[in-house]
Structure formats: structure tokens, C-alpha cells
Chains A and B, each alone.
Chain A
């Protein structure tokens, strides 16, 4: 049972480039989320999904796109990278009807130059 996995661990992008951060979970969780973590800002929700085919925006969705074609996978796309998107990105998942027990992946450190 691998839990929540994220790839890549590190990435450097140039301004304007696009990329996809991968996230997968093997716990059959309905809910999956993407957060970014910045110094002094805590964890901020970017997008979330309550099941395959259903996604919604979080607190800071601009510049990011998501889709959920399977229960296991929830990729995050950066459409045109900007220096303001330099951050650590965490994917998380949880079972339905359990608001507290969210499992986080190890994170992706992204630098946009």
C-alpha cells in the first residue's frame, strides 16, 4: 500500500512553460485535493475532486487545471508557469464522510524562473 504518491519530486520551469504534476492514490479514496504551501501562508487549496469526473475550485485556482478520469489519479496542470507559482505542491486524499483523516503525498518542489 503506497498511499499517496507524487511525481516529480523536484522541477524547475521557465516562465511560460507548461507541465503536469502527477498524483496517485491506492486507497480507493473518493476525495482528492491539491494544495500549495508557501512560507507564512500555510496550505492553500487549489482544486479538489469528490469523485471521478467531478472537480471544483479551491481558494487559489487561477493558473491551474485539473481533471479526474479515474478514482486513483488526479493530475494538476500548470498552463503557463509564472514565478508566483514557485511553491511546494501537495496532493492529498481521504475517504468520503471522514473530514479529518486526510493523507498527504510527499510533495513536489517547483521553481519557476
Chain B
């Protein structure tokens, strides 16, 4: 079993819809939870991060972490065609000397105009 599981999709939704992307994990030591966005033929870029449990909002994006269920989510409101990309969740422990991130496989999202 992988430490981080992510539904690969693909996921297609109409413009303006609310999108929900999710990951589950098994390692209780994870404390930092990240979402990266990767456009086609580009490198991943950090979208949002959350430390420990709770919610974090940034414009149309909301990240949620439920450590009791080992489940994280990314919500995109008022989705736009420019949001079409692959979204990767990533996680890390709180040991600052540990630079390793564990990634999900990514969910490919297409927003249909």
C-alpha cells in the first residue's frame, strides 16, 4: 500500500463548478500537507500548504486537512479553464532536517468552457 493515495482521474467539470480533489495517507508522522499544480509539460508549482489540521483559504482555493481520518482535500470554487492541470498532493513530516516530500500520483483536471 502506498503512503499517499490519490485518485488519478481524469476529472472533467464545466466552468464555474466546484471541484473537490482528495488524498488519503497512512503515515501519522505527516504534519505538512501541500498541493502542487502542474500544467502540461511543465514542472510542479506550489499552490497551497497547510500545517497540521484545519482549513486554509486562498482566493478560490481551500485546503482542508482531517488528521483523524488521514484525509486531505482541495476545493476550487468558480473553476476556470485556466485551472485545467494535474494537481498533486504532497506531505512531509515536521522534522526540519527531513526534506523528503511524499507525493500522490496526481489528479488530471479539465475545466470545460
Whether, in the assembled complex, B60 has its beta carbon less than 8 Å from a beta carbon of chain A, the answer is no
A75 at the interface (CB under 8 A from B): no
Q: Is B46 an interface residue (CB 8 A)?
A: yes
What's the tally of chain B residues with a CB closer than 8 Å to chain A?
25
Q: For residue A98, which residue of chain B has the nearest CB? A: B96
Secondary structure at chain B's binding surface: helix, strand, loop or mixed?
loop
Minimum Cβ distance to chain B for residue A27 (Å): 14
Q: Mark B74-113, 1 if CB is under 8 A from A, else 0.
A: 0000000000000010001110111111011110000000
Report if A102-B42 is in contact (Cβ < 8 Å); known contacts: A40-B8, A97-B96: no
Residues on the B chain within 8 Å of A31, using CB: 99
- Smallest CB gap from B50: residue in A: A100
Contact of A101 with B46 in the complex, beta carbons under 8 Å: yes
Q: Using known A-B contacts A40-B105, A42-B104, A101-B49, determine if residue A96 contacts B96 with beta carbons closer than 8 Å.
A: yes
User: Which residues of B approach A to under 8 Å, CB–CB?
Assistant: 6, 8, 32, 34, 41-46, 49, 88, 92-94, 96-101, 103-106
List 17 contacting pairs A-B, 8 Å CB cutoff, sorted by A: A40-B105, A41-B105, A44-B103, A90-B44, A94-B99, A97-B96, A99-B32, A99-B96, A99-B99, A99-B101, A101-B46, A101-B49, A102-B101, A104-B43, A106-B42, A106-B43, A107-B42
